Structures are given as structure tokens and as C-alpha cells.
Amino acid sequence: MVAFANMLINPTFWKTYFTSPHFTNDMIPDLTGKVAIVTGANGGVGYATTVALAAHGARVFMACRSEARAKEAMNKVRQEIKRDYPRYQGGVKLDFLELDLSDVTKVYQSAHTFLAEGLPLHILINNSGVAFSPVKQSADGLEYMFAVNHLGYVKYSQVPKCMGLTI
Ligand SMILES: NC(=O)c1ccc[n+]([C@@H]2O[C@H](COP(=O)([O-])OP(=O)(O)OC[C@H]3O[C@@H](n4cnc5c(N)ncnc54)[C@H](OP(=O)(O)O)[C@@H]3O)[C@@H](O)[C@H]2O)c1
């Protein structure tokens, strides 16, 4: 905590922060032909990541627990790409993939639904997560945040690897 405070009052930190080159979406190469899964793609960081990948040609599977929220986000992604990335507006490729990380059975179902498509997987963005969740248990009787933020991803990332897909 003290080290963090010292960093914030150090002028060199702010000079480096503001003057170093930052990553921007135009640094992303052409991703045509690449297949990605983004978890929690319907909002926040996952949504922004979906826009960035799809706008550069990737086919993005939006792994979300609510189909309605995912479909709503899909429409917004298409509109945003049409407005900001005219080069790719004809070829935006988005799919819904149901995923609830709080239930191991559903985690396996989601992975197997993807594997049934017979596609390669080039990019896996394990983004979904919960913070400051009230104390509760997952469907499998585990502490909820541990189940979603850790165990769900261990299982979700294992399945494609077990099936021979490299990520
Ligand atoms: N933003 C920050 O400043 C910050 C800082 C540190 C770490 N992070 C981490 O970065 C990630 C993204 O942050 P964010 O701000 O974009 O979060 P966010 O806006 O709260 O979005 C979280 C996403 O995770 C999904 N999600 C929640 N529980 C899920 C479950 N059981 N199964 C599947 N999906 C689930 C949510 O879906 P629903 O819409 O269905 O709820 C939502 O799409 C999170 O893991 C967060 O903990 C963020």
C-alpha cells in the first residue's frame, strides 16, 4: 500500500505514463480467418475487446450467460464497427455461445458446443468475472467468486486443449 502511494506521488511515474506510447486498436493486425472466444462479451472490457477483434476480421464467439444481453450487444457491436471501421463493415462475424462460469456442468456444455462447430480456436479471452459478490455458493457448492473467477476458467480452458486445439 505504501509502495503504491509512493508510486502515485512520484513525478517520473506520471511522466512515463503520459509520454510512453499506448496500445491502440489500430496496432491490431488483420485477423481475417481467426476465431476468438470472448467471455463476458456483452459489456465492459469484454464488449470493447469484441469490437476490437471483430473490427479486424476475426470471427468472435460472444460467450455470455444471457442470450438477450448478448444479442443486444451484438447489434451495438455491428453499429459501432459500421461507424468506426468502414473497411470491415460487410464482414462482421459474431456468434452467441452460452456460458455460465458459476456452474461446471454449463462450463463443459459451452466448451463442447464450441467444439461441435469443428473450428480452430486462435484467441481465448477469459474476461468475465465478478468482484465484490455477496457471500454465496455456486451451483457446485463452492464459494461463488472462486467458482467464477478461477475454477470456471480452469475448466473452460482445459476442454479445447484436451481436444487437441492449441490456444
Ligand atoms: N473494470 C475494472 O476496472 C477492472 C479492474 C480489475 C479487474 N477487472 C476484471 O476485468 C473483467 C472485466 O471487467 P468489466 O469492468 O468489464 O466487468 P463488467 O462490466 O462487470 O462485466 C463482467 C462480465 O462478466 C460476466 N459475468 C459475470 N458473471 C458471470 C458468470 N457467472 N458467467 C459468465 N459470465 C459472467 C457479466 O455478464 P452479465 O452481463 O450476464 O452479468 C459481464 O459480461 C472482470 O473479470 C473484472 O473483475 C476489471
pLDDT in tens, 26-49: 899 999 999 999 999 999 999 999
pTM for this structure? Answer: 0.90
- Domain ranges across the chain: 31-162
Is the backbone of residue 118 left (phi > 0), alpha (psi -120 to 50) or beta? left
pLDDT for 89: 59
Domain 31-162 has CATH 3.40.50.720: yes
Decide whether any atom of ligand 1 lies within 6 Å of the 43 Cβ. Answer: yes
The string of pLDDT tens digits covering residues 140-150 is: 999 999 999 99
- 72-111 pLDDT, tens digit per residue, is 999 999 999 999 987 765 689 999 999 999 999 999 999 9
- Ligand 1 close to Cβ of residue 129 (< 6 A): yes
Q: Which atom of ligand 1 is nearest to the CA of 103?
A: 31
Residues 34 and 123 sit within 8 Å (Cβ to Cβ): yes
How many beta carbons lie within 10 A of that of residue 119, not counting itself? 13
Q: From ligand 1's centre to the CA of 140, what distance in Å?
A: 20
In the sheet that holds 93-98, the strands lie side by side as: 93-98, 59-64, 35-39, 123-125
Q: List the grid coordinates of 122.
A: 486462435
Element (H, E) at 64: strand 59-64
3-state SS, residue 36: strand
Q: Name which residue sits closest to atom 24 of ligand 1, judged by CA.
A: 128
